[in-house]
Amino acid sequence: MTRFSTTFRAGLLTLLAFLIPLAAIPKAAQAAPFAAFVMDGRTGKQIHAQNADTRLHPASLTKMMTLYMAFTAIERGQVRLDTKFTISTNAANEVPSRLGLRAGQRIELRYLIRAAAIKSANDAATAIGENLAGSEDRFAAQMTGMAKALGMNNTQFRNANGLTQSGHFSTARDMTTLGRRLFYDFPQYYSIFSRRSADAGIATVRSTNRTFLDNYSGADGIKTGYTRAAGFNLTASAQRGSKRIIATVLGGTSTAQRNATMAKLLDMGFGRAPTRVREIKPEPPQYIVSRKSSRKVAEAVKKSAAPAARPASLAAATAAQASVRTESLNSALNAAMAQAASQPPKPQPQQQGNARKGPARLASSARPPARPGGARQVAQGAATDAAVQAAMAETGAAAGAVLTASARPVPSPRREATPRAVAAASTANVVPAAASQTDLTLNSSPKPERRSDTVIISSGGSANGAPEPKPSEKISRASSSGGQAWGVSLGRFKSREQADARLIQVAMQESARLQNALRHVRESSKGYEATLVGLSKVDASATCASLSSQQMRCDVTAP
């Protein structure tokens, strides 16, 4: 008996000696699965991939798509940068990082964009989604649809901010693709991702990515992300000479390790990418309106607006009136119409919170209608809202609710250097050979020209820009080298003489770009707006960048 007790005690002590060190490992060291992808930004071609198609938690890299959707809505004339969004209780209660929004508060979209892009504020991202689509669930479904349209085939969104949620996933390849689309599709807004700080209306926000931007030569964006489930994530873009490299790291073990790994990946990309290559710009996604889907939704609206259902609809609409804008209903209606047009209806029970399969495109819409002005219109709005939900539930099955199983990925690169060596290596843009087990070579590149920090986030284009599209008509976004339908607004002035004087001053100062532009002064109740029209997208963006660098107001207006 004594021998058994001695043996048991010795075995227990051995087991404890093994388990105690494991319990002492900090949670940050228990890293999420690692993935990386490097792309030549000019062509979209792969340079390096490691677990690039493994579905992982993207964390706040999600906000890249939230911002892409916001920029799309502005370009389509659904909203303006000075449109005021109402903050819901749900958005105000989001966990940090937060801007500090309050329920019921109204704030301009420009400030929400700055907070989401620079500070990675969760409350700002949620507010953008809710106001654009009517609810965060609808916005997440639209985000997933847009992801499919952009070729992000392993991405599914459940929210607008990237907080961990079942069924919310992406890949290193898809996030890199999205970073490239932001650069090419919205050059007039892209520079916001290089800002170190900005005025967000109620507070000045500082960039979560400023350390990497300051320490890596040529870096000009894009977005960081962190949750315990995701690890330390980063999608970065940098330009050196004629080369642009875009890369994504998922599952870093710390900010320093993530930044050092990203520096190695970008250095490798600059070393392997050819100096001269034909640029391949991505094709813009198309937005479609269909007569067939319009009739289907109209019939659903008619049925749901029966007299017996009106009292309940009126009560529901009254409760929701303070937080749901008519623009949101319009956007959700068009999304349902686009989904109904792509495939025959298959009645299925609606699964709450699940993104729906459907066309990978967003529907085009006319200018948002006026705000409801009476009880009858409120009831009709609620009935339409119910019909949209029914149409969306009818048109597609729910996508996978959880991350799919995959082979265990290669472990994250481990560093044997000290924290001081990590910081020194990051600052010098060179990582010691012992820093990672991956086969990444170091390459030097010439110092690039510094990009302007100017952000054209002052005001948006008019909602009266383009005529209402006819049903079944395809509408493509103009490319950066497109037609002469763009313009710039120089702001509003108290008198027509002041507006004319500013137009003449700018026309003489920027004569090389504005020689074919038309000067126009538009009178409104707010003053006299000075505008220059008949420009290409490139010339309009370049003009505003030049004027903004001189502290002169200038806003790009879309056709």
Burial of 423 (0-12, 13-18, 19+ CB in 10 A): middle
| Euclidean distance between the first and the last CA atom of the chain, given in angstroms as a whole number | 91
Residues in the chain: 559
Looking at the structure, do residues 124 and 237 belong to the same domain, yes or no?
A: yes
**Across residues 209-222, what is the average pLDDT?**
94
Alpha-carbon gap, residue 112 to 134, rounded angstroms: 16
Q: Sign (positive/negative) of CA torsion 270, 273, 278, 284? A: negative
55-59, 239-243, 349-353, 375-379 — which is least confidently predicted? 349-353
DSSP state for residue 14 in the 8-state scheme: H
Give the model confidence (pLDDT) of 283-322 as tens digits: 887 643 333 343 444 454 445 444 444 344 434 444 444 3
Residue 270 is predicted with a pLDDT of 96
**Domain interval for residue 93:** 28-272
Is 242 tagged catalytic?
A: no
Q: Which of 340, 370, 394 is the last residue of a domain?
A: 394
User: Which among 210, 206, 137, 144 has a CA at the least distance from the CA of 178?
Assistant: 144
Q: How many domains does the chain have?
A: 3
Give the model confidence (pLDDT) of 96-105 as tens digits: 999 999 999 9
Looking at the structure, do residues 107 and 250 belong to the same domain, yes or no?
A: yes
pTM for this entry: 0.54
Q: Which of 394, 428, 443 is the last residue of a domain?
A: 394
Looking at the structure, do residues 259 and 295 belong to the same domain, yes or no?
A: no
Looking at the structure, do residues 195 and 291 belong to the same domain, yes or no?
A: no
Looking at the structure, do residues 249 and 156 belong to the same domain, yes or no?
A: yes
Residue 347 is assigned to a structural domain of this protein: yes
Looking at the structure, do residues 101 and 215 belong to the same domain, yes or no?
A: yes
Residue 338 is predicted with a pLDDT of 58
Looking at the structure, do residues 258 and 309 belong to the same domain, yes or no?
A: no
Residue 278 is assigned to a structural domain of this protein: no
Judged against a pLDDT cut of 50, whether residue 210 lies above it is answered with yes
Contacts of 462 (CB under 8 A, 6+ apart): 77, 80, 557
Give the model confidence (pLDDT) of 449-484 as tens digits: 444 433 444 333 333 333 433 333 332 333 333 457
Alpha-carbon gap, residue 158 to 355, rounded angstroms: 7
Looking at the structure, do residues 246 and 127 belong to the same domain, yes or no?
A: yes
Written as one letter, the residue type at 3 is R
Residue 250 is assigned to a structural domain of this protein: yes
Residue among 60, 191, 293, 294 flagged as catalytic: 60
Alpha-carbon gap, residue 128 to 142, rounded angstroms: 13
CB atoms within 10 A of CB 15: 10
- Say whether 292 counts as a known binding-site residue: no
226: helix, strand or coil: strand
Is 60 tagged catalytic?
A: yes
Q: Sign (positive/negative) of CA torsion 13, 17, 23, 24? A: positive
CATH value at residue 542: 3.30.70.1070
Residue 377 is assigned to a structural domain of this protein: yes
Distance of CA 39 to the CA centre of its chain: 19
CATH value at residue 62: 3.40.710.10
Alpha-carbon gap, residue 331 to 337, rounded angstroms: 10
Looking at the structure, do residues 60 and 83 belong to the same domain, yes or no?
A: yes
Q: Which two tokens stand for residue 135?
A: 């609810």
Alpha-carbon gap, residue 276 to 232, rounded angstroms: 33
Distances from the Cα of 453 to the Cαs of 179, 223, 489, 548, in angstroms? 18, 16, 20, 10
Residue 428 is assigned to a structural domain of this protein: no
Residue 239 is assigned to a structural domain of this protein: yes
Judged against a pLDDT cut of 70, whether residue 376 lies above it is answered with no
Looking at the structure, do residues 64 and 143 belong to the same domain, yes or no?
A: yes
Residue 186 is assigned to a structural domain of this protein: yes
Buried b (16+ CB within 10 A) or exposed e, 231-263: bbbbbbbbbbeebbbbbbbbbbbbbbbbbbbbb
> DSSP per residue over 471-531, as a string?
TT-EEEPPPTT--S-EEEEEEEESSHHHHHHHHHHHHHHTHHHHTT-EEEEEEETTEEEEE
Looking at the structure, do residues 290 and 263 belong to the same domain, yes or no?
A: no
Residue 235 is predicted with a pLDDT of 98
Is 444 tagged catalytic?
A: no
* 216 vs 32, higher pLDDT: 216
Looking at the structure, do residues 221 and 355 belong to the same domain, yes or no?
A: no
Question: Which residues on adjacent β-strands are paired with residue 535?
Answer: 486
Q: Which of 373, 394, 415 is the last residue of a domain?
A: 394
Residue among 63, 119, 357, 537 flagged as catalytic: 63
Residue 155 is assigned to a structural domain of this protein: yes
Residue among 88, 97, 119, 120 flagged as catalytic: 120
